[in-house]
Amino acid sequence: MALSMAELTQQITTLILNPGTRAWERQLLVGAKQRLTPNTTAARELSRLLADLRPLAQRQNLTPAVADFYRQMTGETVLDSHDLVAQHTAPDPSYQERAVFAGGCFWCMVEPFETRPGINAVISGYTGGTVAQPTYDQVISQSTGHVEAVEILFDTRQVTYADLLTVYWQLIDPTDDSGQVNDRGESYRPIIFVNSAAQRQLAEASKQRVIDQRQYQKPIVVAIEPTTTFWPAENYHQQFYRQQPKRYQRLERARQRYLRWQRRWAKWRRK
């Protein structure tokens, strides 16, 4: 991507000031900004910066905003999540409701809901914690009390909250409150967040049905809690299945293998 000196300087400055940028990323960015002088060209310094970031990018070890910058500069598809955030902050029409589910890594929680009729938006984010505007690094440090979750904006004329609960139970291991599949820690706990008495009643009934079906040897430990502030995650995490389809497919296959194995094992134990 061809950038002027002013445009590149502005983007690098924004990343330097971003609280989610790690110290070693910031060091590289500061060095690049200092080299941007009237005697240099933007293209040359951008190429050098991308070369410095490449080893970290290849290991998927850049923070979200820097990862977006790297992918944009190398010509990869980068989702603009401004519309999603706008939908999150906008008031709901009379026919729209919201559901908030935590079920492990939010990367694998979007596509199963978003591709269904009646879904207006699925937003990845953080909820249930004590820190305002948390970053991804803060949440995965397990120090803020947040969990990764999805906020689903749905059209009640086409899909019901009960329908969404049915999908949710198919996506998780309801016996594991220490994480989900390969994602460990309190930020990956499975929780149903309810925002009304009606949602709580439906959530409790759906949980009881899972218990009564006796599909699992271990107790059902999914919590049902009141909705708290939902903070949309960084752009990099929104609609991950579209932005990083190959990586998403690998993660989703591994997740589904585990859940199928678990259900078959439970069925065998019952017999």
Other residues' Cβ atoms within 10 Å of the Cβ of residue 177: 17
DSSP state of 249: H
Q: What is the rounded CA–CA span in Å between residue 19 and residue 40?
A: 28
Helix 5-17 / helix 64-73 crossing angle, nearest 10 deg:
160
Q: What is the rounded CA–CA span in Å between residue 270 and residue 175?
A: 16
> Do the bridges between strand 96-102 and strand 179-180 make them parallel or antiparallel, or are there none, so unpaired?
unpaired
Q: Which residue type sits at 60?
A: Q
Active-site amino acid positions? 105
Tokens encoding 178: 């220490």
How far is the first Cα of the chain from the last one, in angstroms, to the nearest whole number?
A: 60
* Residue 225 to residues 101, 190, 213, Cα–Cα distance (Å): 10, 11, 23
Close Cβ partners of 11 (under 8 Å, ≥ 6 residues apart): 3, 69
